[in-house]
Homo-oligomer: A and B are copies of this chain.
Amino acid sequence: MKTEAFEKYESSVRSYCRHFPTVFTTAKGSIIKDEEGNEYIDFFCGAGAVNYGHNNEYIKAKTLEYFSTDGIIHALDMYTVPKREFIETLETKILEPRGFDYRIQFPGPTGTNAVEAALKLARKYTGRRNIFAFMGCFHGMTLGALSATSEMFARNGAIASLTDCTHIPAPYMVEGLDVVKYMQMLIDDDHSATDKPAAVIMETVQAEGGIRVFDVEFLKAVREFCTKNDILMIVDDIQIGCCRSGSFFSFERAGIQPDIVVMSKSIGGIGMPMSIVLHKPEIDVWKPGEHNGTFRGNQLSFVAGKAAIEYLLENNVEAETKRKGDIVKNFVEKEILPLNDKLELRGIGLMWGIDCSKIDSALASKLSDLCFTKNLICEVAGRNGSVLKIMPALVIEDELLLKGLNIVKEAFKEILADY
C-alpha cells in the first residue's frame, strides 16, 4: 500500500482516508476496488454524491460522448448548449411535472457556495440579516454557511465571528417543546432579543445531525410559519435531495414548496462538481454577477446532470429507492436491533442510521472500522459520531445490498459481544 506521498505531503486535514486506509483505483456501481485488488461494497456513496452509482453507465456514456469532442468545458456563466439542455431538462422533466416554478442559479460547484448564495439572496430580498437554522444541521464550511451549521467542531475551526444566525432546537431535541410555536414566540415577543429572520434554512432530514427525519407535520408547520410571517423557507437538499429520500426533492412527501432549494452532490450525476440554487421568480433580486465563482460553468457537470435526470426517470429511481429502503429497514429491524435493545434505527428512503449512543458513543466508529476490514465502506454520523450511517447507491443491486447489510450485522454481533 503506497501511502507515503499522502502522509508526507498531504495536509493533516485529510480525514476519510484515515477511516478507509487504502488506495482506491476503480469504482463501478456499488463496488470500489483498491490498488491491492480488494473489492469493497460502498454504503457511503461519496457522502451522497454518487446516488446513481459510481461510473453510472448511462450518465458516464453521455458525459464521455461530450468530453470526446471539442465541446467547450469551462464557460463561466456564458450561454452554452449543455447548460441550456440541463436547464430545459430540469425545468420540463422535474420542476414542471411537480408544478414548481423556480429560477435556477449556478454558484461555485460546492454545496457551501450554494448555501452562501441562498442566504445572500434571502437577505437581499427581505432586507433582514438574521437567519433561523436548526441545531443538528450541516450547511457547509465557508463562513456564511458555517454560521448556519450547528456542529461545534466545524464552528470552532473558524476562530472568527459567526454572525447573523439564530439556532432553533430541532423538534427531537427538547421534550415537550413545540418548535414552531417557539419560533413564532421569537417573532412576536418584544423581549425575545431575536431579530425577525430573512429565512428559515433547514434540511428535511438532518444527516450529519444523526439521520433525523423531520415528520411531514413539522415540515408543513414550518412552511406555514414562513408564509404567515413573510419569511423565506430554504430547504438544503444537498444530501437528502436527488431521490435519496424516495422522491427527487426531499420535501415532496410533505406537499410543500420552499421558496429556495439548494442542491449539490448528486445533481452532477457521477460526481461532477455542481451546485444549484432554485428560487421562486418573484424573489429574483440578484444584480448581474452579485454572486459568482469561476467553476460555475463546468459543462461536463451540465451534461452529466442532464443525463442523471434522464436516468433517474427512465429507471424509476424514486420508487426503487423506497423499495430498497424497506429492505434496509426490515433487515435492520429484524436482524440487528434485536441484538441490543438500546439500538435505535432512524431513516427514510435510502439513508438510514443505527444510533448506538445509548450503548456507547464510540461504538459506531468501531463498527465502521470493523466493516472496512470486512470490505464494506460505511461511515458514521450524528452527535459525537455515534450513529452508523447506511447510505448505499440508490441503484445498488439487491444482492449486494443484502451482502452489505449482513456485513453490518456481523460487525454488530462481534462488537456487541464486548458490551
Question: Do A120 and B193 form a contact, CB below 8 Å, given A20-B78, A84-B6?
Answer: no
| Cβ 8 A contact of A152, one of B87, B190, B286 | B190
Q: Is A159 an interface residue (CB 8 A)?
A: yes
New contact pairs (17) apart from A5-B84, A135-B192, A191-B209, CB-CB < 8 Å: A11-B279, A12-B286, A13-B105, A13-B289, A14-B77, A23-B81, A23-B84, A27-B75, A47-B294, A108-B110, A108-B112, A111-B294, A123-B158, A137-B191, A149-B193, A174-B177, A271-B295
Q: Is A32 an interface residue (CB 8 A)?
A: yes
Residues of B within 8 A of A294 (CB): 46-49, 110-111, 238, 264-265
| Cβ 8 A contact of A286, one of B11, B192, B273 | B11
| Cβ 8 A contact of A10, one of B10, B55, B87 | B87
| B289 x A193 contact (CB < 8 A) | no
Taken residue by residue from 159 to 171, chain A's Cβ proximity to chain B (1 for < 8 Å, 0 otherwise) reads as 1110111010100
A47-B390 Cα distance, complex, nearest whole Å: 41
Q: Is A346 an interface residue (CB 8 A)?
A: no
Taken residue by residue from 1 to 22, chain A's Cβ proximity to chain B (1 for < 8 Å, 0 otherwise) reads as 0110110011111111110111
| A185 x B158 contact (CB < 8 A) | no
Residues of B within 8 A of A300 (CB): 300
Q: Is A316 an interface residue (CB 8 A)?
A: no
Q: How many copies does the complex hold?
A: 4
Residues of B within 8 A of A120 (CB): 157-160
Q: Is A234 an interface residue (CB 8 A)?
A: no
Q: Which of A138-146, A215-223, A405-413 contacts B (4 or more CB under 8 A)?
A: A138-146
Q: Is A365 an interface residue (CB 8 A)?
A: no
Q: Is A150 an interface residue (CB 8 A)?
A: yes
Within 8 A of B (CB), among A68-93: 68-81, 83-84, 87-88, 91
Q: Is A298 an interface residue (CB 8 A)?
A: yes
| Cβ 8 A contact of A108, one of B16, B18, B113 | B113
CB distance from A275 to the nearest CB of B (A): 9
Q: Is A384 an interface residue (CB 8 A)?
A: yes
Residues of B within 8 A of A83 (CB): 6
| A160 x B144 contact (CB < 8 A) | yes
Residues of B within 8 A of A369 (CB): none
Residues of B within 8 A of A273 (CB): 109, 273, 295, 298
A-B contact pairs, 27 of them (CB 8 A): A5-B84, A12-B285, A12-B288, A21-B79, A24-B72, A24-B78, A25-B71, A25-B81, A26-B72, A49-B295, A50-B74, A108-B112, A109-B109, A109-B110, A111-B294, A113-B141, A116-B143, A135-B191, A141-B291, A142-B142, A144-B160, A152-B190, A153-B287, A165-B193, A167-B193, A169-B182, A300-B300
| Cβ 8 A contact of A190, one of B146, B153, B165 | B153
| B191 x A80 contact (CB < 8 A) | no
Residues of B within 8 A of A262 (CB): none
Residues of B within 8 A of A288 (CB): 12-15, 18
Taken residue by residue from 266 to 302, chain A's Cβ proximity to chain B (1 for < 8 Å, 0 otherwise) reads as 0000111100010100001111111111110010100
A67-B292 Cα distance, complex, nearest whole Å: 28
